[in-house]
Every structure is written in C-alpha cells, then in structure tokens.
Amino acid sequence: EPEVTQTPSHQVTQMGQEVILRCVPISNHLYFYWYRQILGQKVEFLVSFYNNEISEKSEIFDDQFSVERPDGSNFTLKIRSTKLEDSAMYFCASSGGGGSSYEQYFGPGTRLTVT
Amino acid sequence: RKEVEQDPGPFNVPEGATVAFNCTYSNSASQSFFWYRQDCRKEPKLLMSVYSSGNEDGRFTAQLNRASQYISLLIRDSKLSDSATYLCVVNKPPGTYKYIFGTGTRLKVLA
C-alpha cells in the first residue's frame, strides 16, 4: 500500500538554526500539506501546496516558513530561524485528484526539538 | 464558538459496546468532513469521509447534519483496538484545501 514517508524521524536543533524537513508524498497525489502538533495539543494546519505553488496557508505559516518541491518526489518544509516554540511534531500529508481528492494520508511525522 | 468542537472524553466503554461521538463546526459553508483516528504519538489515520447521505464502513457509521452543523461517528461492537483519539476534520472556507482539526475525543475500550 502506498504511503507518505518523512525524514528524519527526529531532529534536534539549536534556536536560531535553519531546519529542513523532508517528505515523499504518495506518488500519484497532487496536493501536499504540512501540519504541526505541539505535544498535548491539536493538529494545526500550516500550508497546502498544489501545482508547485502554495494553495492556502494558516496564520502560523509566517515568513520563517517556506515549502518547496525541489524534484518530482520530495516535498520540503524549511524553518529559517527556529524558535523554542517551533518544537512540535510536523506531519506531511498528501491527497489525490478526482473524487477522493480531499482525503489526506499522513506520514509518520518528524519530531522537531529546538533547544 | 470554536471552529471545530469535540468532547475530549475520555469515553470508557466495555468491549462490544456501541459508542457515538459528535463534532460541531461553526462555518456553515464547510463542505468537506472527515473522521481520523490518532494513536498516541502517531500520525492521524483516515477513518472515513463524511458524506451528506451518511456512510458506513463495517462497524463504523458517519453522519452529517448540515442544519445543526454537526457530524457524528458511531462505532458498533467496540474492540480493544478501537482505543484511540478520534479527530474530526473540517475544511475552512473559503479555502477548499485548508483544514481545521478538532481537539479529538479519547476512547478507551475496556476488556
């Protein structure tokens, strides 16, 4: 069964450093997403991406965040200057086209710890 | 009113019981509705989409009530493996691909 993969599973970084989180969506999917979940809190939408551009983003997704699809398979989230409050689990998701275009499938997540 | 609201639970039920969760949403223009389950420290897994006509998948039944702006999930014949947090997800208009998650309802199925 096709699945979304994410690397690394855990990233530790110092405050102020840049991090790149990587995702490989399901191969025939067209829509890609990033979410975050701070420990003990709800899943929060960050951004959706389609046709090589941002489709929608939340208030959380400010100038320190960026997304990219550098090749035909990877989808990345960059955080330019990490803050302590960026510590969270980051989930990538993808959804396909057609009638089930809205059903999202999530990767296992990257746990980001900012020290 | 919160955008998506769920009773956090926990709902503690014996094996074999039927349990129902509700989720209310604030924006009447929302068009896409889903139930996900999330196990501790794991990713959300799609349980089912929720259609206007309602839908059923095995022991799980989802309903949408647009007039009252809520969706429901019914689990029949609960199994120990159903223990998880159930997340309600709704799109946020005017966005189609922008989603709001509820805080989740925790279910514990007891032997």
Interface of B with A (CB under 8 A): 32, 34, 38, 41-46, 49, 87, 91-92, 95-104
How many angstroms away from the CA of B95 is the closest CA of chain A? 7
* Radius of gyration of the CA atoms of chain B, in A: 13
User: 3-state DSSP: chain A helix, strand, coil percent, rounded to 5?
Assistant: 5, 50, 45
Beta-carbon separation of A91 and B34 below 8 A: no
- Mean pLDDT over B95-103 rounds to 90
pLDDT category, B12, cuts 50, 70, 90? very high
In this complex, how many residue pairs, one in chain A and one in chain B, have their CB atoms less than 8 Å apart?
56
The one-character DSSP state at B15 is T
Q: Is the pLDDT of residue A2 over 90?
A: no
List chain B residues with CB under 8 Å of A31: 97
User: Considering only alpha carbons, which residue of chain B is nearest residue A31?
Assistant: B97
pLDDT in tens, A15-40: 999 999 999 999 889 999 999 999 99
Confidence bin at B51 (pLDDT 50/70/90): confident
Provide the pLDDT for residue A97.
60
Handedness of CA B43, A39, B82, B5 (dihedral sign): negative
Region of poorest pLDDT, from A84-93, B51-60, B68-77: B51-60
* Chain B interface disruption, residue of A10, A26, A42, most B CBs within 10 A: A42
- Determine contact, residues A60/A6, Cβ cutoff 8 Å: no
CB contact under 8 Å between B97 and A105, yes or no, is: no
Q: In chain B, at which residue ranges do the beta strands (DSSP E only) sit?
A: 4-6, 11-14, 19-25, 33-38, 44-49, 55-57, 60-65, 70-75, 84-91, 99-101, 105-110
| B99 has a pLDDT exceeding 80 | yes
Which residues of chain A make contact with B95, given a CB cutoff of 8 A? 48, 56
pLDDT band at B79 (very low <50, low <70, confident <90, very high): very high
- Residue A40 has a CB neighbour count (10 Å cut-off) of 5
Residue A102's pLDDT band, with cuts at 50, 70 and 90, is confident
